[in-house]
Amino acid sequence: MKVALLMPSALNGGVQRIMINLSKGFLNYGYDVDFLIADATGEMLNNIPKNCNIIDFKKIKLRGDLKVLFSLRNIKKYIKQNPNICVISAPGLSGTVLSYLKKKKYVFNSIVMVDNKISLLKDGTLYHILVYYLNKHLFCYSNFIVPAHENAKKDLINNYKLLEHNVRRIYHPIIDEGVLLEQNPELNHRFFDLKKRGYKILISIGRLVPVKEFENLIQAFSMVKKKNKVKLIILGDGPLKDELENYANLLNCDDDIDFYGYTSNVYEFIKKSDALILSSKQEAFGNVLIEAMANGIPVVTTDCQSGGPREIMMNEKSNLFGDICPCENSKALANSIDKVINNIYDINLLKERSKEFTIDFSTREYLHLIKELYDE
């Protein structure tokens, strides 16, 4: 049995990690996996399991998701050679393209991933609005649409009038239990040595771009450090790095915040931290929250419009896993951080919450869908 996973590129990002994790799950269950990649260049290429077959459409000159749109002919050629294959598309324009191919009957078995509330596209650029209406016309042709959380599911059904039978919520395969168990004793950041002196080490992860609201986090951190012994490590690169470093300096936090940059060793940083902070004003779901919980670390998150972080925090039970606060409010964020670092959390409860987000759990859900496809 073989499945094909369609995605735009192998650049470092949440979409790519999800698809790679899903491929590991399928391999574990004895499936062959073909990666259909519009442009197979990027940092994540080496993370794709060696047993997978990579088919590169070489759309190097195009930007972002448009690479997939201009791969239509390549995808049709592939499906012609593999007529009965099930194709699973990554969140984004890949799902639009796959649904179009299903409508035109080039593909017979299609599963489209959606990672955010589809209605949010209407508030975006002209491109996003166009994608919203294309999806509204095309999604009904796909066999299954798979939103990553309940809010996204309700949003899809309400906006696109899809049959509930065809919309199945499956949490993303975020946690690789094999990686979770790995130990890297060589990681030795100077801030972690300060824990012996009573310091709390905070960690935040993401690209240094406006939507992640790191400026708001730095402002909140400057308030927290006035009455707590704290340090902050920010993992990620991006165009705002110099601006954020200058802002930290302006608030006299430059010695207390380390802009560490990109690392593939995220779990080891999380394991040694005391709390993870997500400060975004918009987040499709909030994968890093799950990664922190899987390592027994409490979290502070903003209440993003997508509803993803709130669902991870189980709404009214959020105090069991950390705290949730309004977006773009540095004082509220500071209060939540102060609350979490001065509280004690049940490590086993945190880890238990992450189990629905493991590779094995998610893969088994997808296997049920594939079985339904071929049983029809």
Give per-residue pLDDT as tens, 213-231.
Answer: 999 999 999 999 999 999 9
Lowest mean pLDDT among 59-68, 155-164, 240-249: 59-68
Looking at the structure, tell me whether residues 253 and 152 fall in a common domain: no
Contacts of 81 (CB under 8 A, 6+ apart): none
Q: In which band, very low, low, confident or very high, does the pLDDT at 340 lie, cut at 50, 70 and 90?
A: very high
Q: Of 77, 100, 112, 108, whose CA–CA distance to 5 is shortest?
A: 112
Q: What does the pLDDT average to over 164-180?
A: 90
pLDDT reported for residue 188: 82
Q: Which CATH number do you get for residue 367?
A: 3.40.50.2000
Q: Is the pLDDT of residue 142 over 90?
A: yes
Beta bridge partner(s), residue 277: 300
pLDDT reported for residue 315: 65
Average pLDDT over the chain reads 93
End-to-end Cα spacing for the chain = 17
Q: Is the pLDDT of residue 181 over 80?
A: no
Unique residue bearing structure tokens 């950041």: 189
**How many domains in the chain?**
2
Looking at the structure, tell me whether residues 340 and 191 fall in a common domain: yes
pLDDT reported for residue 184: 65
Q: Is the pLDDT of residue 22 over 90?
A: yes
Full residue range of the structural domain in which residue 279 is found: 178-355
Looking at the structure, tell me whether residues 220 and 237 fall in a common domain: yes
**Between these two residues, 291 and 65, which has the higher pLDDT value?**
291
Distances (CA, A) of 235 to 6, 74, 274: 28, 37, 15
pLDDT reported for residue 185: 61
pTM, entire model: 0.87
Neighbouring C-beta atoms of residue 163, cutoff 10 Å: 9
Three-state helix/strand/coil letters over the chain: CEEEEEEEECCCCHHHHHHHHHHHHHHHCCCEEEEEEEECCCHHHHHCCCCCEEEECCCCCCCCCHHHHCCHHHHHHHHHHCCCCEEEECCCHHHHHHHHHHHCCCCCEEEEEECCCHHHHHHCCHHHHHHHHHHHHHHHHCCEEEECCHHHHHHHHHHHCCCHHHECCCCCCCECHHHHHCCCCCCCCHHHHHHHHCCEEEEEECCCCHHHCHHHHHHHHHHHCCCCCEEEEEECCCCCHHHHHHHHHHCCCCCCEEEEECCCCHHHHHHCCCEEEECCCCCCCCHHHHHHHHCCCCEEEECCCCCHHHHHCCHHHHHHCEEEECCCCHHHHHHHHHHHHCCCCCHHHHHHHHHHHEHHHHHHHHHHHHHHHHHC
Q: In which band, very low, low, confident or very high, does the pLDDT at 183 lie, cut at 50, 70 and 90?
A: low
Looking at the structure, tell me whether residues 291 and 219 fall in a common domain: yes
pLDDT reported for residue 302: 96
Q: What does the pLDDT average to over 139-143?
A: 96
Looking at the structure, tell me whether residues 239 and 303 fall in a common domain: yes
Percent of the chain with pLDDT over 90: 79
Lowest mean pLDDT among 61-75, 305-319, 329-343, 344-358: 305-319
- Give me the phi and psi of 44, to 5 degrees please: -85, -5
Looking at the structure, tell me whether residues 151 and 224 fall in a common domain: no
Looking at the structure, tell me whether residues 182 and 121 fall in a common domain: no
Looking at the structure, tell me whether residues 187 and 165 fall in a common domain: no
pLDDT reported for residue 285: 83
pLDDT reported for residue 162: 93
Q: Could you report the per-residue pLDDT of 251-278, keeping only the tens digit for each? A: 999 999 999 998 878 889 999 999 999 9
Q: Is the pLDDT of residue 368 over 80?
A: yes
Q: Is the pLDDT of residue 314 over 90?
A: no
Distances (CA, A) of 348 to 86, 294, 351: 37, 9, 5
Q: Regarding beta strands 257-261 and 230-235, do their DSSP bridges make them parallel or antiparallel, or are they unpaired? A: parallel
Q: Could you report the per-residue pLDDT of 281-295, keeping only the tens digit for each? A: 988 788 899 999 999
- CA-CA distance, 236 to 214, in Å (whole number)? 11
Looking at the structure, tell me whether residues 124 and 227 fall in a common domain: no
Looking at the structure, tell me whether residues 88 and 119 fall in a common domain: yes
Write the single-letter amino acid at 133.
Y
Which tokens go with 276? 């993870």
Percent of the chain with pLDDT over 70: 98
